[in-house]
Homo-oligomer: A and B are copies of this chain.
């Protein structure tokens, strides 16, 4: 089969690789209907994460179950399934509390590289959620979004306590930030204020439910959010970048007693204790427990109540994965969908 492999920063190739096979009796093999490039893949592509040896890429996936291990009971060949980047047993105490991405048996599904024709998914019963039937083609981008970016934006909004009557600010206008807007809207937020300076993203932000847009960043961005919130700051702020600047912008934009939900993978971040202490914010986040939200998200998509697939503004054959990375790196595309 073919799959994308990164060899060095800026160097992604689609190689012929071994088709994955059942290793554990709880595994499933799925034939990919669609996969995509994640903002976090760009950390490797840009050389911010080291690339010591060739690494199979991708951790977002939807597809048809081809084969299951002998212990798999709820997932069957022929089903269309969606799973998250972390495999989880869905039964341990941590999963039961809703933190599947910290499951005591968690495994990184992306280890095998989801930007490929086939993928091995461990703990299939706990990890995969099947759709009511094989979806029509137009639903596939939205279902694929549920695999990571939608689930991650949703977790950001939940962690930030977005809800009825709340004013929600969003730091980061990538696919996760944009879908956090959609999530906040679905959760009933009253005002949703993304911080964005890119016109095409602002357009999508408004479509997803943004009520205002702040184009300033850093301290100026914080000042603008305070101006829009009676000097107090937003009730809820979703952080979807993962840098020192974005975290401080999020904390600074939140009113005392408010909530910061952070889902940008932290890179070289050190939070100053004293500033955090006096900010009085609630801080919660981390790798999104997407599995917690999948049934609800799939249902919303299936009923066509939400259309998160709109974040894919570039669709390419898997063979052209390299161009998909390049377009995102150069910010010509928000998010690239790849079809094997």
**Interface residues, chain A, with chain B CB atoms under 8 Å away:** 93-94, 97-99, 101-102, 104, 230-232, 242, 244, 247, 255-257, 262, 265-274, 276-287
Contact = CB atoms under 8 A, between A and B. Distances in A.
B266 A277 contact: yes
A252 to B, nearest CB: 14
Contacts of A274: 266-267, 269
A257 B287 contact: no
Q: How many identical chains are in the complex? A: 2
B265 A276 contact: no
Contacts of A282: 282-284
Contact of A273 (B99, B268, B279, B280): B268
A263 to B, nearest CB: 9
Nearest to A244: B273
A102 B257 contact: yes
B247 A273 contact: yes
A287 B276 contact: no
Nearest to A103: B256
Given A94-B255, A257-B94, A278 B272 contact: no
A258 to B, nearest CB: 8
A307 B230 CA distance: 42
Contacts of A247: 273
Given A94-B255, A269-B273, 5 more contacts: A94-B256, A97-B256, A101-B280, A242-B273, A277-B287
Contacts of A271: 270-271, 273, 276
A242 B231 CA distance: 29
Contacts of A268: 273
25 contacts: A93-B232, A94-B256, A94-B257, A97-B257, A99-B256, A99-B257, A102-B256, A102-B280, A104-B232, A242-B277, A262-B277, A267-B273, A268-B273, A269-B276, A270-B271, A270-B272, A271-B273, A276-B283, A277-B285, A278-B286, A278-B287, A280-B287, A281-B284, A282-B282, A282-B284
Nearest to A272: B270
Nearest to A279: B286
Contact of A280 (B104, B267, B286): B286
Contact of A276 (B98, B256, B257, B266): B266
Contacts of A255: 94
Nearest to A281: B284
Contacts of A267: 273-274
Residue from A232, A274, A276 having most chain B Cβ neighbours under 10 A:
A276
Contact of A99 (B269, B280, B283): B280
A247 B277 CA distance: 12
Contacts of A101: 280
A190 to B, nearest CB: 15
A172 to B, nearest CB: 15
Contacts of A286: 256, 276-280
A281 B286 CA distance: 8
